Structure 1
Amino acid sequence: MITRSTSFVEPATDPVLLRTLAAAGLPATGRFLSKAGWVSRVWVGDEYVVRLINDQRHRDAYRHEATVVNLLTGSEVPHARILAHGDGPDGPWYASERLPGRTLYEAWPAADSPTRQAMIESLGSVLRALHRIPVPADLLPPWLADAIAGKKPWAAFHPPVVSAALQLVEDARRLPGHDARLLADVAGWIQERLALFAADEPVLVHGDIHGSNLMVDQGRVTGLIDFAEALAQPADVELDNLLHWCARAREFPPVPGERGLDETTLTEVPGWLHGAYPELFEREHLRERLRFYDMYGELAQYAHHPQPDEREAAHDRIARLLSGHNHLDGLVW
Structure 2
Amino acid sequence: MRTLTAAGLPATGRFLSKAGWVSRVWVGDEYVVRLINDQRHRDAYRHEATVINLLAGSEVPHARHLAHGDGPDGPWYVSERLPGRTLHEAWPTADSATRQAMIESLGSALRALHRVPVPADLLPPWLAAALDGTKPWAAFHPPVVGAALQQVEAARRVPGHDARLLADVADWVRERLALFAADAPVLVHGDLHGANLMVDQGRVTGLIDFAEALAQPADVELDIILRWCAKARDIPPTPNEQGLDETTLTEIPGLLRGAYPELFEREHLRERLNFYDMYGELTLYAHHPYADDREAAHDRIVRLLSGHNYLDELVW
Q: Would you say the 8 A contact 2:130–2:139 is kept in 1?
A: no
Q: Would you say the 8 A contact 2:138–2:288 is kept in 1?
A: no
Deviations 1:176-203 (A, max 9, x none): 1111111111011001101111111000
Q: Identify which of 58, 68, 73 aligns with 1:85.
A: 68
Q: Structure 1 residues 239, 324: closer, same or farther in 2, change over 3 A? A: same
| Gapped regions of structure 2 (runs ≥ 5) | none
| 2:164 alignment counterpart | 181
Give the partner amino acid of 2:150.
Answer: Q
Q: Would you say the 8 A contact 1:143–1:155 is kept in 2?
A: no
Deviations 1:71-108 (A, max 9, x none): 00111000000010001111100000000001000111
Give the partner amino acid of 1:51.
Answer: R
| 1:224 alignment counterpart | 207
Task: Give the Cα–Cα distance (whole angstroms) in 2 for the partners of residues 257 and 184 of structure 1.
Answer: 39
| 2:108 alignment counterpart | 125
Three-state SS of the structure 2 residue aligned to 1:108 is: helix
Deviations 1:288-314 (A, max 9, x none): 000000000011111111122111111
Counterparts of 1:234-313 in structure 2, within 5 Å, are: 234-313=217-296
Q: Would you say the 8 A contact 2:193–2:225 is kept in 1?
A: yes
Q: Identify which of 147, 152, 158 aligns with 1:164.
A: 147
Task: Give the Cα–Cα distance (whole angstroms) in 2 for the partners of residues 44 and 249 of structure 1.
Answer: 24
| 2:307 alignment counterpart | 324
| 2:197 alignment counterpart | 214
Q: Would you say the 8 A contact 1:58–1:155 is kept in 2?
A: no
| 1:233 alignment counterpart | 216
Task: Give the Cα–Cα distance (whole angstroms) in 2 for the partners of residues 312 and 153 of structure 1.
Answer: 19
Three-state SS of the structure 2 residue aligned to 1:109 is: helix
After TM superposition, the runs of 4+ consecutive aligned structure 1 residues lying more than 3 A away are none
Question: Post-superposition shift, 1:25?
Answer: 0.8
Deviations 1:114-150 (A, max 9, x none): 1111111110000000000000000000011111111
Greater relative contact order (Cα < 8 A, sep 6+): 2
State yes or no: 1:105 paired with 2:68: no
Q: Would you say the 8 A contact 2:138–2:283 is kept in 1?
A: no
Give the partner amino acid of 2:242.
Answer: R
Q: Would you say the 8 A contact 1:49–1:98 is kept in 2?
A: yes
State yes or no: 1:22 paired with 2:22: no
Task: Give the Cα–Cα distance (whole angstroms) in 1 for the partners of residues 155 and 274 of structure 2.
Answer: 19
| Gapped regions of structure 1 (runs ≥ 5) | 1-17
Three-state SS of the structure 2 residue aligned to 1:52 is: strand
TM-score in terms of structure 1 length = 0.94
Give the partner amino acid of 1:258.
Answer: E
Counterparts of 1:183-198 in structure 2, within 5 Å, are: 183-198=166-181
Question: Post-superposition shift, 1:62?
Answer: 0.1
Task: Give the Cα–Cα distance (whole angstroms) in 2 for the partners of residues 310 and 132 of structure 1.
Answer: 37
Q: Would you say the 8 A contact 1:99–1:215 is kept in 2?
A: yes
Task: Give the Cα–Cα distance (whole angstroms) in 1 for the partners of residues 234 and 104 of structure 2.
Answer: 23
Task: Give the Cα–Cα distance (whole angstroms) in 2 for the partners of residues 178 and 204 of structure 1.
Answer: 35
Q: Structure 1 residues 232, 168: closer, same or farther in 2, change over 3 A? A: same
Identical amino acids, percent of aligned pairs: 85
Task: Give the Cα–Cα distance (whole angstroms) in 2 for the partners of residues 100 and 307 of structure 1.
Answer: 40
Give the partner amino acid of 1:23.
Answer: A
Task: Give the Cα–Cα distance (whole angstroms) in 1 for the partners of residues 45 and 180 of structure 2.
Answer: 30
| 2:51 alignment counterpart | 68
Question: Post-superposition shift, 1:155?
Answer: 5.6
Three-state SS of the structure 1 residue aligned to 2:15 is: strand
Q: Would you say the 8 A contact 1:246–1:263 is kept in 2?
A: yes
